[in-house]
Amino acid sequence: MGFANHYLNNYRIYPDYIETTPDINLNLIVFIPCYNEPNLTNTLDALYNCKRPKSPVEIIIVINSSIDEDKQIIENNLKTLQQAEQWIKEHNEKLFSFYTIYQPNLQKKYAGVGFARKIGMDEAVSRFNKINNSKGILIAFDADATCDDNFFTEIENHFAKNSKATACSIYYEHPISGTQFSESIYKTITQYELYLRYYNLSLRYANFPFAYHTVGSSFAVKADIYAKQGGMNRKKAGEDFYFLQKVIPLGNFTELHTTRVIPSPRPSDRVPFGTGATIKKFEENNITDLYTYNFQAFIDLKSFLSLIDKLYKIEASKLVDFYKKIPENIKEFLIANNFNLAINDINNNCSNLTNFKKRFFAWLNAFKVLKYMNFTHEHNLQKVKITEVASQLLKKIKSETQIPNDEKQLLEIFRSIEKNRRLG
């Protein structure tokens, strides 16, 4: 019996697309959602030019559209499919093979990047299930991304060295200069990536345990973990965040910094939020500065998290005194989210401090922290330029006397901090 039979029988939408039998040693499968992509072959070239790992590799491209798609996009998708199939004929290798899935007519309610990822990931799990490789690695990628040439070898080595790892985020860097895009796009993507790293490192500063990047083109997960967690969702945006928040709390989530994914900074209307949508919004509205969460919100979170041990088996009558010890921003958010009931329920279902913390952070998860950030900026704090708050964070975590206020210099520092951190 295959390890993923239950998942595939109960949660998969479509039957197998790929008819060929997978190699018995297959261990790495890349899945790529593809929608209205004019330059897919650039991405395929980048993957093809990578050094070959020890185990076989498959790359699955999911060319998709909705049931009422614009005629021009359908034509573009068919052209991409034709180009991809011709490219594959010229490049396929026995142990390094490419496959296309053409899936038009997705239900409008679900059509989008989440559903496309699910189709690709489900197909990958089915491939691993056929050879009963529960530890096979599913690798996320995007149809407009490229990567360093050690992409596959480093992923293979990472999971070999970290046998207990459930999944990993993969280091990424957007292009922040060049001739392919306008200066305004490079400026915006610099600020946006700086924001992503500021948010992640600020959560680390606050000692939040689930602070990891959740970029759709930059993660890998083991096949059995994917199946046990119910697979990918069908959200039109943020699907990567929602999926990984089911995986990260399991523990043994790692970070891979020895290779690099290079996502595109191009504007996009494919999703309502995220990188492409932000670039598009800035370009269309001539926005030059990105504003984000006030650093004080993370300082307050850090203060609160330093006191959570005191909540273990706390009496209801003592919560009033506890509220006096925490920042007002946190207090208001907790009260608005029925914290008294939550902490009482947590304490009634744990017998030691370790279990208490596990349940506590199941409640105060990454979703709840994001809700806190939005709540406190609606009621108490104002958003601030990304360069200002990034500088404030650096003053807390680095001893340098000179902190730049230029977004590119700040981003390079943040990249260095994250790239040189070895976790997992």
Contact of 408 with 176, CB cutoff 8 Å: yes
Q: What is the pLDDT of residue 400?
A: 63
pLDDT at 403: 84
Please, what is the average pLDDT of the chain? 93
Report whether pLDDT(423) > 50.
Answer: no
Does the pLDDT at position 3 exceed 70? yes
pLDDT at 274 (0 to 100): 66
Residue 56, pLDDT > 50, answer yes
User: What is the reported pLDDT for 236?
Assistant: 64
Q: How far apart are CA 413 and CA 75, in angstroms?
A: 44
Q: Averaged over 345-350, what is the pLDDT?
A: 95
What is the mean predicted confidence (pLDDT) over 372-401? Answer: 92
- At 73 the pLDDT is 94
Question: Which amino acid appears at position 371 of this protein?
Answer: K
Q: Answer whether residue 284 shows pLDDT above 80.
A: no
Quick one: pLDDT band at residue 275, thresholds 50, 70, 90?
confident
Task: Report whether 213 contacts 87 (CB < 8 A).
Answer: no
pLDDT of residue 85: 98
Structure tokens given for 130? 């056929």
State how far the Cα of 234 lies from the Cα of 291, in Å rounded to an integer: 29
CA distance 376 to 72: 43
In CATH, which superfamily holds the domain spanning 5-287? Spore Coat Polysaccharide Biosynthesis Protein SpsA; Chain A (3.90.550.10)
Burial zone of 112 (CB within 10 Å; 0-12 exposed, 13-18 middle, 19+ buried): buried
pLDDT tens digits, residue range 82-94?
A: 999 999 999 999 9
How far apart CA 159 and CA 155 sit, in angstroms, is 6
Q: Within 10 Å of residue 70's Cβ, how many Cβ atoms?
A: 11
Q: What is the pLDDT of residue 404?
A: 85
pLDDT of residue 320: 92
Banded model confidence at residue 268, pLDDT cuts 50, 70, 90? low
Residue 178 three-state SS: coil
Does 202 have pLDDT greater than 80? yes
Position 242 scores a pLDDT of 85
Confidence at 398, pLDDT banded by 50, 70, 90: confident
Find all residues with CB under 8 Å of 22, minimum gap 6, and list them. 58, 127, 128, 130, 131
For 422, other C-beta atoms within 10 Å of its C-beta total 9
Give the total residue count for the chain: 424
User: Does pLDDT of 270 surpass 70?
Assistant: no
- Can you give the pLDDT at residue 283? 78
Question: What is the model's pLDDT at position 422?
Answer: 45
Confidence of residue 345 (pLDDT cuts 50, 70, 90): very high
Cβ pair 247, 161 in contact under 8 A: no
Burial grade of 303 (CB within 10 A; 0-12, 13-18, 19 or more): middle
Percent of the chain surpassing pLDDT 70: 96
Per-residue pLDDT band for 109 (boundaries 50, 70, 90) equals confident
Provide CATH 3.90.550.10 ranges for the chain.
5-287
Mean pLDDT of 254-275: 81
pLDDT in tens, 140-156: 999 999 999 999 999 99
Q: Are 184 and 228 a contacting pair, CB within 8 Å? A: no
pLDDT of residue 203: 97
User: What pLDDT is stored for residue 424 in this prediction?
Assistant: 32
pTM: 0.94
pLDDT at 271 over 70: no
pLDDT class of 237 with cuts at 50, 70, 90: low
Report whether 240 contacts 219 (CB < 8 A).
yes
